[in-house]
Amino acid sequence: MIHWHPSGTVSQLDRQVLVQLVEENAQHLGTGSLHAQGPIIATGHQAWFWHPGILAKDIAMAESARYHGGHMLHLVVDHDVHPAMQLPIPLLHDHAMVRKVIELAKVNAEIPLVSQMPVDIKQVQDNLWYLKQEQAASLGHALMDMPHCENLAQQITVILTRLMHRWVGQVPILYSTQLLELPSAKRILKQMLDNALFMARSYNNAVNQLPHAGIAHLAIEQDRIELPVWLIHWGKSRSRVYADIADHKPVLVDSEGNALDLSKDLLAPKALFLSALMRTVVSQLFIHGKGGGIYDQVTEIWWSQWRQEHLNPLAIASADIYMHWDIHFAQQKDVEHARWYLHHLKHNMDRFAEMGSERYTQKQTLIKQLANTRTSRQDKKNGFKKLHQINDQLCQKHADILNKADNELTRALRGVANKEMASRRDWSFFLYQDSQIQQLQKMIRRANEHRHGV
């Protein structure tokens, strides 16, 4: 839901450069353009086939922009590393739900998406047969007439924006590797370099105040201090960036101590710096998910301590949507009962199938003898042996009853597993029914209008 109005200011020069960057992306990839005036409501995420909880941020962005007369902007975090072309899907096999991961194409999960070549779209299309007809049609349509993409991040951006177009419209795109092209971002990076020790201490102090946020500290060493940016290399893993403070004038260097040239080397901000830039230099309202809402508390503490400045407003949007399944579910107590019944049945078949029979009478007599303290040890040994023989004979004779009980245990175990699978919320948003996404859109719109008293 939307918690705040867009407010705050961004510099006109930053806005001009931002509009130009977004327009370059629009011309190249067919994404949306950005107006030069009016508030920007932004959100963002990594480039992969994310779940409806992420889509909720974009829907909230679109609804907020519509209500406030603002403009959307989606930030693609293209410098992150993840298996972007893996698509987990739910399948129904023998009355059981199973999770299968489709590898739509081969990618390197250790290298940022911006540093990898695009994949062969034909390879992706060949793997669509795993999907249901309507799911394959949706993704297949998004794969048609792809523009020339310079890297994997751009390619997935095109696919994602096409998939979510019906829910949010034509979305303007900015990449995280473009953020440091904004004049104010360059100026802030220079200020980091010039006073790296104070910046890093403020950063680490903020991290210490919220350790559950999962943000790593910046390294503070005798001759160098880590900065909250990544160095991006084509075809290689990203690496850390430092302020070399060995001499009187600090120098921006890589992990090997080599000086960096901002006109040539590609840098991207880490999470806290990225969020701070989005909330000071880029947008008047930034929409996070649940995780971002947690770590951005660290951002606010750091920014306040280091720069004595407040960030522009933040909103949180997320959603839990579950697929509909016409399939058997069970609880753990059903498993426990079925397991007990099967075990009990193996030793007491006479009570379920042969009450009053000769074997039933024999068993009762044996049980009384075994319980009698006057029965000799040898007689008890023989009695136990005879008792087991009778149980085995009964189980062989009534194997159908045992099989039914065993099947019930299997069904209960499968039902528990089905219930666990059905509780997953992380399937890609385009795998869900349209009616579910429509309902999500309506709920976000109502929440936004209720917030503002419509």
The per-residue pLDDT for 353 is: 78
DSSP state of 35: -
Does 393 have pLDDT greater than 70? yes
Does 453 have pLDDT greater than 70? no
**HSE (CB half, 13 Å, CA atoms) of 193?**
21
Sign of the CA dihedral running 315, 79, 158, 425: negative
> What angle is formed at CA 372 by the lines to CA 371 and CA 377, rounded to 5 degrees?
90
Rounded to two decimals, the pTM is 0.89
Long-range contacts of 262-266 (CB under 8 A, 24+ apart): 262/180, 262/186, 262/189, 265/231, 266/114, 266/177, 266/231, 266/232, 266/233
DSSP-assigned beta bridge partners for residue 254: 241
Residue 234 banded pLDDT, cuts 50, 70, 90: very high
Neighbours of 433 (CB within 10 A): 12
Strands (E), 104-200: 173-175
Question: Mean of the pLDDT values across residues 183-195?
Answer: 97
The per-residue pLDDT for 380 is: 79
Please give the radius of gyration of the chain, using alpha carbons only, rounded to the nearest integer. Answer: 31
> Lowest mean pLDDT: which of 24-28, 167-171, 398-402, 446-450?
446-450
The per-residue pLDDT for 450 is: 64
CA distances from 267 to 77, 274, 296, 340 (A): 12, 11, 21, 61
The per-residue pLDDT for 2 is: 44
The domain locations on the chain are: 1-218+269-322+429-454, 332-422
The per-residue pLDDT for 1 is: 44
Q: Are 37 and 154 in contact (CB under 8 A)?
A: no
DSSP state of 301: H
For 83-132, the pLDDT digits (tens) are 999 999 998 888 888 999 999 999 999 999 999 999 999 999 999 988 88
> What angle is formed at CA 269 by the lines to CA 268 and CA 274, rounded to 5 degrees?
130
Taking the C-alpha atoms of residue 394 and residue 89, their distance in angstroms, rounded to an integer, is 45
Mean pLDDT (the chain, rounded) = 92
For 304-359, the pLDDT digits (tens) are 999 999 999 999 999 999 998 889 999 999 999 999 999 988 888 888 777 777 77
Question: Mean of the pLDDT values across residues 232-247?
Answer: 96
Q: Are 46 and 27 in contact (CB under 8 A)?
A: no
For 7-62, the pLDDT digits (tens) are 777 889 999 999 999 999 999 999 999 999 999 999 999 999 999 999 999 999 99
Residue 4 banded pLDDT, cuts 50, 70, 90: low
For 137-185, the pLDDT digits (tens) are 999 999 999 999 999 999 999 999 999 999 999 999 999 999 999 999 9
